[in-house]
Each structure stands twice: as structure tokens, then as C-alpha cells.
Amino acid sequence: MAARWRHRDVVEFLVNEGADLSLVDQFHNNVLHGACIGGDVQIVSYLLSRDVLDINSKGHNGKTSLMLAAIHKHSGVVDLLLLEGADMSPVDNSGNNVLHCACLGGNVMVVQHLLSRGRAGIYARNKGGKTAADLARDKGFGRINDLLASFGVYK
């Protein structure tokens, strides 16, 4: 909870006192998942520096830390996770990839950064048959639709 609610001092104190970073909550999220939901880049960096957590582990509904940071609009955390080697290819239990999650979150910077790293599964369909562009359109995110159109999604 300290990581999720951005309490850096508490996170560091608990880790220094021997907190078990491998524990997961009832939703299967670990402390890194919580930190990525919270969006504090320094906490995420600190946790990754401990070299205990799998950056690509799946938590609630099969979402990775990268997916959680994307859906919660934390572009700085997305950048850090990609820099640290987070895998962009996993899908969650609904078949959504990280680009789907970013489009659901509605942050243009996150979507743009993912697309700058390659096509990021731009044409992939989730279990409902929807692409990331479909999800952005359904949510009414016009700027994201314009961005995706510049990558040729609608041609």
C-alpha cells in the first residue's frame, strides 16, 4: 500500500527492515504492481534496484507492471520500465496487450512512446476482437485516434 500511495520513505523503511518483496495480495499483485499503479518513478526505480522482482510478472487479470503503468497514465513509469527491459509482448486475461492498456488509459504520451518503440502490437485483437484503436475510439479519445491514424491504422 505504501508503494501504491506514493509513500517513498515508508517503502524504503519497510524494505530496509526486511519486508518480503515477493509477497502478493489477494489479487496476485506484488509491490511493483502497486508502485506502477501509484506512478512514482522513484519508488519503481528503487524497487527494481533491489533485483528481487520480476519486471514482467503478471498480477490481477494477468496484467504486467508495464500494462498497469500504461492504463494508469504514468508515462514516466512506462519509460523507466521500458528502459529496464520490460517486455511489450505479453497479453492479459482479456487478450489486451500494453498498447490496448495505454489506449484504455487515454494518455497520448504513453501511446506515443509505445509506438515509438515499434508497432507495439498495433493490429493485435483482444479476446473481444478489438484492436487498441477500437478501444480508443470507443472511449472517445480523439487525440489517440489521430496518433494511431498517423501510423496507418485506419488505412
The domains of the chain are located at 1-87, 88-155
- Phi first, then psi, for residue 64 (nearest 5°) are -85, 170
Distance of alpha carbon 27 from alpha carbon 30, whole angstroms: 9
Distance of alpha carbon 94 from alpha carbon 32, whole angstroms: 21
Residues 6+ apart with CB under 8 A from 91: 62, 97, 124, 126
The residue whose grid cell reads 526486511 is 18
Superfamily of domain 88-155: Ankyrin repeat-containing domain (1.25.40.20)
> What pLDDT, on a 0 to 100 scale, did the predictor assign at position 119?
65
Average pLDDT across each block of 10 residues of the chain; the chain has 155 residues. List them in order. Answer: 96 97 95 98 98 97 98 97 96 98 97 86 94 95 93 73
> What pLDDT, on a 0 to 100 scale, did the predictor assign at position 121?
86
> What pLDDT, on a 0 to 100 scale, did the predictor assign at position 53?
96
> What pLDDT, on a 0 to 100 scale, did the predictor assign at position 92?
98
> What pLDDT, on a 0 to 100 scale, did the predictor assign at position 152?
81
pTM: 0.95
The highest-level CATH class for domain 1-87 is mainly alpha
